[in-house]
Amino acid sequence: MKVERSVRVEDKLFCNRYLVDTGRPHIKVRAHTRPSPQLLALLKACPARCYELNDKGQIEVTVDGCMECGTCRVIGEPTGDIEWSYPRGGYGVLFKFG
Amino acid sequence: MIEESFDAIVVGAGMAGNAAALTMAKKGMKVLQLERGEYAGSKNVQGAILYADMLEKLIPEFREDAPLERHLVEQRFWIMDDRSHVGLHYRSEDFNEERANRYTIIRAQFDRWFSAKVREAGATVLCETTVTDLAQDAYGRVIGVRTDRQDGEIHADVVVLAEGVNGLLGTRARLRERPKTNKVALAVKEMHFLPRETIEARFNLSGDEGVVIEAAGTISGGMTGMGFIYANKECISVGIGCLVADFQRTGKTPYELLDRFKRHPSVAPLIEGSEVKEYSAHLIPEGGYKAIPQLYGDGWVVVGDAAQLNNAIHREGSNLAMTSGRIAAEAIFQVKSRRLAMTKENLALYKRMLDRSFVLKDMKKYKDMPRLMHTNSQNFFLTYPQLISKAMQTYLRVDGTPKSEKQKSTLKSFVNARSWIGLFGDAFRFARAWR
């Protein structure tokens, strides 16, 4: 599965302000050998491209650029594929304009 | 742990939460408001248009110091295909009134101002505090909240859940369902900065006049969705949103969709040369009337986006949020002043008052619209925009073809694409859902 790379999401996220809560990710992916269709959908649906496929073909999440929209929660939480919380108070994305 | 107990705890400092906290504090209630962002507004995303009437009911003199961008004198609706748009523009000098009806705003700035008013009214506002759970007694009655700040609970007679579309507390406590993929849209937005004069020249504006553009068509790639362009003082908000279920089904990426919208020949010249200073994403409740959850219970009420109160057809959400927050607060105050308990039975007053307001009347009017749009997205967002564009072009191009032939070929293209039964069916279903 190839993720659309023509738009550099990293560049978009670069202009945002974040306070990353290092070592305390607010989203966790359940351990799996092969990703479910819901997990695969997150590769594309996440607007911050937080989800990526690793060398072993499993889905990993890096929450540093997360905008806390909840899209992955709506898709992935019902099946138990991910665990979703909000970051600790004050941490995470800090919109200047919103 | 905060030892004191409050009359009410408001979770969230968005439009609904601020309206509720302000209303209760003004009436002399002891209110605690909790917000997980560094400041009110730092987690909030909206297009954003502010409807003056609903704010005036809370803060009559808001125009004196609220951070407003532009008052709207013009509204454009665009039906787009890949190379063109058919537009309906309404512009009126009447909108250049002293007490303007609609403004563009920047939420992070507006919410900070709104939150200051809440504090001035006497509420205790605690930012950088994420509420992790609702505290319930053995009978399931909500008696307060638990936060990530200290161990222990904070107690109140009633908790106002203004936690937004992606609120976790209500779902964790099993008071309402988690939003479903076909009931919420994901919108992405960028803030494009340009000199004031450039924006005014490009949008045909002078002074603080503003314009908004709502756009639908092939820009959403057959998904149920809309794009928008709002002129602010020194920046332009450009965004697009589609149902999460459609993103999941099609595998299209939100950022690619936004970039395609920005590259459209009708959009690109408006934002050319701009500097993007923020990229944001947010869910929007799209389920309509039928998706509204139970709005009250023992010791709690839910308001705003968390209650799915959004009128997708008229692009109204923040005003429904403000109004539901205010009405919930007024209902709570009535229950309190009658010295009654905050039970489900007594808080039903909130629903009765909301039923009588425009909020639930408007929501009810369009109760069939979400399903119609969601089940016919290919027709409404792909086929018709293409047909309409082609019809306009055929009509406008002067090439020696007799007009009767042009009309015949246009009609034929509609019938070929949708069949007579399909056309009448779509028109009938649309009219019925609109009625």
pLDDT at position B307, please? 98
Q: Do B248 and A41 touch (CB under 8 A)?
A: yes
pLDDT at position B433, please? 84
SS3 content of chain B, % helix, strand, coil (to 5): 40, 25, 30
Q: What is residue B46's three-state secondary structure?
A: coil
Put simply, whether B248 touches A (Cβ < 8 Å) is yes
pLDDT at position A3, please? 47
Residues of A in contact with B41 (CB under 8 A): 95, 98
Min Cα distance B97 → chain A (Å) is: 27
Q: Do A95 and B181 touch (CB under 8 A)?
A: no
Residue B10: C-alpha distances to residues A68, B7, B163, B433 (Å) = 20, 10, 9, 35
- pLDDT tens for B214-232 read 999 999 999 999 999 999 9
pLDDT at position B434, please? 81
DSSP string, A4-56: --SS-HHHHHHTS-EE--TT--SEEEPP-SS--HHHHHHHHH-TT--EEE-TT
Q: Are A86 and A15 in contact (CB under 8 A)?
A: no
Q: Over range A21-26, report the average pLDDT.
A: 96
Interface test mutation site (partner A, options B33, B34, B166, max chain A beta carbons within 10 A): B166
Q: Are B350 and B332 in contact (CB under 8 A)?
A: yes
CA B276 – CA B268 distance, rounded (Å): 14
- The DSSP secondary-structure symbol of B161 reads E
Residues of B in contact with A4 (CB under 8 A): 253, 256
pLDDT at position B2, please? 59
| Nearest in space to B46 (alpha carbons), one of B259, B280, B312 | B280
- pLDDT tens for B10-49 read 999 999 999 999 999 999 999 999 999 999 999 999 999 9
Q: Could you give the angle at which helices B403-434 and B384-396 cross, rounded to 10 degrees? A: 150
pLDDT at position B3, please? 63
- Beta strand B68-80 with B209-217 is parallel
Q: Which two tokens stand for residue B128?
A: 């950088």
Q: Are B341 and B156 in contact (CB under 8 A)?
A: no
pLDDT at position A2, please? 45
pLDDT at position B285, please? 96
Interface test mutation site (partner A, options B278, B286, B305, max chain A beta carbons within 10 A): B278
Q: Are A36 and A79 in contact (CB under 8 A)?
A: yes
Tokens 């205010």 — which residue?
A: B326
Residue B69 half-sphere exposure, CB side, CA atoms within 13 Å?
A: 31
Q: Do A85 and B41 touch (CB under 8 A)?
A: no
Q: Which two tokens stand for residue A10?
A: 């990293």
B210 DSSP β-pair partners: B72
Preceding peptide of B135 cis, ω within 30°: no
CB-count exposure of residue A57 (10 Å: 0-12, 13-18, 19+): exposed
* Alpha helix ranges (H) inside B95-136: 107-120
Overall residue count recorded for chain A in this entry? 98
Residues of A in contact with B165 (CB under 8 A): 70
Q: Which residue of A has its CA nearest to B279?
A: A12
Residue B288: C-alpha distances to residues B137, B183, B305, B359, B373 (Å) = 32, 8, 11, 11, 12
Q: Which helix (H) or strand (E) holds B84?
A: none
pLDDT at position B9, please? 98
Please state the ipTM of this predicted complex.
0.94
Question: What torsion, rounded to 10 degrees, do the Cα atoms B317, B136, A73, B367 define?
Answer: -40
pLDDT tens-place values along chain B, 435 residues long: 556 789 999 999 999 999 999 999 999 999 999 999 999 999 999 999 999 999 999 999 999 999 999 999 999 999 999 999 999 999 999 999 999 999 999 999 999 999 999 999 999 999 999 999 999 999 999 999 999 987 779 999 999 999 999 999 999 999 999 999 999 999 999 999 999 999 999 999 999 999 999 999 999 999 999 999 999 999 999 999 999 999 999 999 999 999 999 999 999 999 999 999 999 999 999 999 999 999 999 999 999 999 999 998 898 999 999 999 999 999 999 999 999 999 999 999 999 999 999 999 999 999 999 888 888 888 889 999 999 999 999 999 999 999 999 999 999 999 999 999 888 888 888 888 887
- Closest residue to A15, CB basis, from B42, B168, B278: B278
Q: Report the alpha-carbon angle B299-B300-B306, nearest 5.
A: 170
- The DSSP secondary-structure symbol of B427 reads H
